Structure 1
Amino acid sequence: MPQRSENFERKKGLAIFLSLVMLAMTAGYAFFAAEFIQQLSSLDVQAFYLRLSMMVIPGLIASPIFLLSIYIMLRRHFGHLPERHFALWVKVSLLLLALAFIVRITSGFWLPGYVAAHGFTHCSKLENPSPFASQVWVRQPQYCHELSYLVNVEVLEWFDEQQAAGAKPSNDEVIAQIELLIAEHKQRYQ
């Protein structure tokens, strides 16, 4: 009997821990989606660049799956899980995933044109090579230096510092800073 009780307590702890992780993921998607929408609504204020994740809104749409999973998991471990609840969870999850997929495809066509119409240029040289990384859009095409991929993190950090300080360096100053970062990188690693 003590073995069964110990096993139940372990499962209970794991279910609660996973529930908290799923709640945190849902809250994270809500935060990033709010930041994403705020960013899109204030494109004219963005001084240097912006990062756009094509997965934020689809992730937010699919996030109720996490909440439904918490319910299913807790009911399964701490009570009786009716078959119709599980079937409903599967149907709702498939529907949300299909909707998220459609939104991702639609935003992939619409969003680049919308951002470009507000004066930004896509700069893949400043992006992280990860397939789920955010796209980087720069205000001036000159900010997308041919060798900026060497110092993409440093350039974006410098952009963030300037934006946070409220500084408005000229285009020549920005380009000079990017070239300085590239020269420092070359000197350090070559």
Structure 2
Amino acid sequence: MPLFKWKKSREKFSDLDLKNRLGICVGIIFFSILSALSLYVSYIGISQNLFFDDESYYISESGILVPAILLSPFPLLMLLSGVQKVCNYKNEKTFFFMIRIMVFAIPICFFLMVVSSFYVEASLKNHGYTYCSWYKFSPTRSPDVWLKNSELCLKVHHYVVLDVEEWFEWHNEQGIEPQLDELKAFISKKNKEQGR
């Protein structure tokens, strides 16, 4: 396996020109951040969508985040490749190994995005949640919104969606069941603040 067989390179990092050394260092920083972000998104996707708290009154679901862990090898192996270059080792095998892994990981990831979306939706329905389209900020990009109490799904304009989301999240954090009258009053107040 190319990860465990590191061979010294004839070309030393210190022999590279400043532009290439700087590019490698920036690449290491970039792929470090991308690796951490990839793992964090995977954690959020799994913890909030597969193992959600069924005591929540409001869930913002995005099932496509669940299989994001399959994309983690790309930034991790690119990071390793940069470290190998800095430490004067050959990194070509690691790079080609990353390409081979990603050729399989990307199609599997897209397939699992579809499967996990259906699974998460079925799981939410089984736990008594109802889909509410009014609380989506954008019909194509924002996560789906699920409510424990379907009466709380009120028609709102897009300019108060984020406020309503924060209102529900506050109720989830406090463990207080949201009341319909409170929600109507909150939406009315926000509409007045917006001048509508």
CA contact under 8 A between 2:27 and 2:82: conserved in structure 1?
A: yes
Q: Percent identity?
A: 18
Q: Distance in 2 between matches of 1:76 and 1:3?
A: 11
CA deviation after TM superposition for structure 1 residue 169, in Å: 4.1
State TM-score, norm by structure 2: 0.77
1:152 is aligned to 161
1:103 is aligned to 112
- Going by fraction, where is helix more abundant, 1 or 2? 1
CA deviation after TM superposition for structure 1 residue 27, in Å: 3.2
Q: Distance in 1 between matches of 2:171 and 2:119?
A: 29
Amino acid at match of 2:99: V
Task: Tell me the alpha carbon deviations over residues 96-132 of structure 1, each in whole angstroms, 9 at most, x when there is no partner.
Answer: 1121111111123232222122111111221121734
Q: Distance in 1 between matches of 2:189 and 2:60?
A: 23
Instruction: State yes or no: 1:64 paired with 2:70.
Output: no
Moved more, 60-69 or 91-100: 60-69
Amino acid at match of 2:101: V
Moved more, 111-120 or 165-174: 165-174
The answer for unaligned runs of 5 or more in structure 2 is 1-13
How large is the Cα RMSD of the aligned pairs?
2.8
1:27 is aligned to 39
What is the DSSP-based 3-state SS (H/G/I as helix, E as strand, rest coil) of the residue aligned with 1:27?
helix
Q: Provide the aligned length of Structure 1 versus Structure 2.
A: 182
Q: Distance in 1 between matches of 2:42 and 2:140?
A: 21
Q: Which runs of 4+ in 1 moved over 6 A?
A: none
Q: Distance in 2 between matches of 1:85 and 1:10?
A: 20
Instruction: State yes or no: 1:189 paired with 2:187.
Output: no
The answer for unaligned runs of 5 or more in structure 1 is none
Q: 1:175 to 1:142 in 2, by over 3 A?
A: farther
Which residue of 174, 182, 186 maps to 1:173?
Answer: 182
1:17 is aligned to 29
Amino acid at match of 2:45: A
CA contact under 8 A between 2:49 and 2:120: conserved in structure 1?
A: no
Q: 1:130 to 1:17 in 2, by over 3 A?
A: farther
CA contact under 8 A between 2:41 and 2:65: conserved in structure 1?
A: yes
Q: 1:132 to 1:69 in 2, by over 3 A?
A: farther
